[in-house]
Chain A
Amino acid sequence: MWSQRPSMPDKRVTIEDVVAELADGMTVGIGGWGSRRKPMAIVRAIARSGLRDLTLVAYGGPDVGLLCAAGKVRKVVYSFVSLDSIPLEPHFRAARQQGVVDTFELDEGMFLLGLQASAWRLPFLPTRSGLGSDLMALNPALRTVTSPYADGEELLAMPALDLDVAIVHMNRGDQGGTGQFLGVDPYFDDLMLMAAKKRFMSVERIVATDDFLNEGPVHSLRVNRLMVDGVLETPNGAHFTSCSPDYERDEPFQREYAASAKSAEAWDAFKASYVDVTEAEYQQAVAR
């Protein structure tokens, strides 16, 4: 029988601990993809906090929309913001069309390279992606780099996307910060964590380390504890996004969320019911 030695760290934290580590103006990376495996419990806690002027870095979904609607966002670094089954994220859309949030527009692959560069502590990674498009015109800070070898090819130098904080949600984790995804796609959560100074992972369930391989194959242990500073158990914590195979997206609730972008009154009602409440109250409200 394997036993947990005293050397195994206990990194368990609360949602309040996570929010307390954030400050106005920080750059926050959020894991998942679209409306899939988003750390919504932490996102909700940020939405009801006093934080402001955040820069969000995400393959965006309702995490971006909710925080825009809650007035927490100054800038979004993104290549898309989508609810998947509802292609356009209505709250993000409203914020952009009102001109209240700035962006750093990126191609999906450039976004990956920016995270990878940061994770590897490099200033940039070269790519062909982005050349010829208007991305460089929209962001004059983007530069090209010339290959020092005989080919002399000019490539786009995708700068590192360095994060102050990363938040991700996994299916299982242990108290030391190892994380396990049980769905079909890990997305880019491990890169998000390695690109950040402070790294937090919520999980559906904290398990004993020797239970991991009962839950899934060794390949599902994508997050090792070198990548994580704090872990917290938030059952149904990705709701209303999908967290396969634990649960799928709550489509009726997502439609209700999307409809709350139709008017200030609709948003106020949604906010009162589902944002300005504790996580326990939220989970009670959506258990129907």
Chain B
Amino acid sequence: MSDNPTRAEVCVVACAEAWRGDGEILANPIGTIPTIGGRLAKATFEPSLVMTDGEALLVENIVPVGVDNPPKVVAGWNPYRNMFDIVWNGPRHIMMGATQLDRYGNQNLAFLGSYDKPSVQLLGFRGAPGNTINNKTSYWVPNHSPRVFVEKVDVVAGVGYDRARALGRVASRFHHLPRVVTNLCVFDFATDDNTMRLMSVHPGVTVDEVVAATGFDIVVPKDVAESRVPTEDELQLIRDEIDPKGLREQEVPS
């Protein structure tokens, strides 16, 4: 394997890294690249992760994405009702999408504009309020732009750090936003006031590009790391086993 990893493959590894150290919990990625990343983490450095087939089964093998009727080693039944048991019981780290995010990690995927007559009706609140107040919640943004990273989200679905803090220590004790992974970089909230901090930029991306593509001031450390590139083993797993059809390149084109 001699060719360089694509941006999409760097994003897969950046997503996988979000679950590092999580141990025996449900890794619950939403979206193509997070799903490939979760399965990569389970196949390599985080083998205790519990994962679904994307529907109602818990599976122990590494199921490829975009393949009809893949083989499944079924280890559990997890219809939607059981998923809420896991959400409320706690051992879960979800990575979900966001139409808007602010510096504290408040997220919107419900609608844009006013509630009475939205300019754009999106999905609705989905599970965002419950996910963020009960479980580790990371975000995946395949189209990093000032339209996504905004000063103020139109409506708060996923709870950010300022909102969690206002609820008090008891109500917010399970709130934790580990990462935001984008097509340009990785953010965390490891600052005194839990505002978004630039953790690493993907190879080929400059800090200035990230700053320009973000609609609020981010915390930029003196030395910003470059996001880790996949190992040979990881590249082989991504290309041959987890995403043989290359769906990742559709989500983040090179």
- Taking beta carbons and an 8 Å cutoff, which residues of A are in contact with B? 33, 60, 78-82, 87-88, 92-93, 96-99, 105-110, 112, 127-135, 138, 151, 153-154, 184-188
Q: Check if A97 sits within 8 Å of B117, measured CB to CB.
A: yes
Interface: B124 (CB within 8 A):
yes
Do A133 and B124 contact each other (CB < 8 Å), given the known contacts A99-B116, A108-B130, A109-B88? no
5 intermolecular pairs with C-beta atoms under 8 Å apart: A96-B111, A97-B121, A110-B129, A132-B163, A184-B79
Q: Check if A88 sits within 8 Å of B55, measured CB to CB.
A: no
Do A138 and B133 contact each other (CB < 8 Å), given the known contacts A96-B121, A128-B174, A188-B80? no
Inter-chain CA distance A180–B164, complex, in Å, is 42
Residues of B within 8 A of A185 (CB): 55-56, 79-80
Q: Check if A131 sits within 8 Å of B121, measured CB to CB.
A: no
Q: Check if A79 sits within 8 Å of B125, measured CB to CB.
A: yes
Do A133 and B127 contact each other (CB < 8 Å), given the known contacts A99-B116, A153-B170, A154-B171? no
Interface: B214 (CB within 8 A):
no
Partner of B123, one of A82, A187, A188: A82
Q: Check if A80 sits within 8 Å of B126, measured CB to CB.
A: yes
Q: Check if B117 sits within 8 Å of A134, measured CB to CB.
A: no
Inter-chain CA distance A185–B157, complex, in Å, is 26
Partner of B157, one of A133, A151, A154: A133
Do A186 and B124 contact each other (CB < 8 Å), given the known contacts A128-B134, A133-B159, A134-B157? no
Among B126-177, those with CB < 8 Å from A are 126-130, 132-134, 155-159, 163-164, 166-167, 170-172, 174-175
Interface: B110 (CB within 8 A):
yes
Q: Check if A87 sits within 8 Å of B55, measured CB to CB.
A: no
Interface residues on B, range: 35 or more
Inter-chain CA distance A87–B157, complex, in Å, is 17
Q: Which residue of A lies closest to B156 (CB)?
A: A134
Q: Which residue of B lies closest to A187 (CB)?
A: B80
Q: Check if B155 sits within 8 Å of A88, measured CB to CB.
A: no
Do A134 and B155 contact each other (CB < 8 Å), given the known contacts A184-B55, A184-B57? yes
Do A109 and B130 contact each other (CB < 8 Å), given the known contacts A81-B124, A93-B121, A185-B56? yes
Residues of A within 8 A of B120 (CB): 97
Interface: B196 (CB within 8 A):
no
Do A153 and B81 contact each other (CB < 8 Å), given the known contacts A92-B121, A133-B156? no
Interface: B119 (CB within 8 A):
yes
In whole Å, how far is B61's beta carbon from the nearest beta carbon of chain A? Answer: 17
Inter-chain CA distance A1–B118, complex, in Å, is 61
Main secondary structure of the interface of A (DSSP, over half): loop
In whole Å, how far is A124's beta carbon from the nearest beta carbon of chain B? Answer: 16
10 smallest beta-carbon distances between A and B, as pairs: A129-B130, A99-B117, A133-B129, A132-B159, A96-B121, A185-B79, A80-B124, A107-B129, A109-B130, A132-B163
Q: Check if A186 sits within 8 Å of B79, measured CB to CB.
A: yes
Q: Check if A79 sits within 8 Å of B115, measured CB to CB.
A: no
In whole Å, how far is B77's beta carbon from the nearest beta carbon of chain A? Answer: 8
Inter-chain CA distance A134–B109, complex, in Å, is 12
In whole Å, how far is B70's beta carbon from the nearest beta carbon of chain A? Answer: 15
Q: Check if A97 sits within 8 Å of B118, measured CB to CB.
A: yes
In whole Å, how far is B103's beta carbon from the nearest beta carbon of chain A? Answer: 16
Q: Check if B123 sits within 8 Å of A87, measured CB to CB.
A: yes
Residues of A within 8 A of B170 (CB): 151, 153-154
Inter-chain CA distance A82–B127, complex, in Å, is 14
Most chain B C-beta atoms within 10 Å of own C-beta, residue among A33, A112, A128: A128
Q: Which residue of A lies closest to B168 (CB)?
A: A154
Residues of B within 8 A of A108 (CB): 84, 125-127, 130
Inter-chain CA distance A67–B88, complex, in Å, is 33
Inter-chain CA distance A134–B158, complex, in Å, is 9
In whole Å, how far is B176's beta carbon from the nearest beta carbon of chain A? Answer: 13
Among B85-134, those with CB < 8 Å from A are 87-88, 110-111, 115-130, 132-134
In whole Å, how far is A273's beta carbon from the nearest beta carbon of chain B? Answer: 26
Residues of A within 8 A of B125 (CB): 79-80, 105-108, 133, 135
Inter-chain CA distance A115–B120, complex, in Å, is 28
Inter-chain CA distance A87–B110, complex, in Å, is 12
Do A132 and B130 contact each other (CB < 8 Å), given the known contacts A93-B121, A97-B121? no
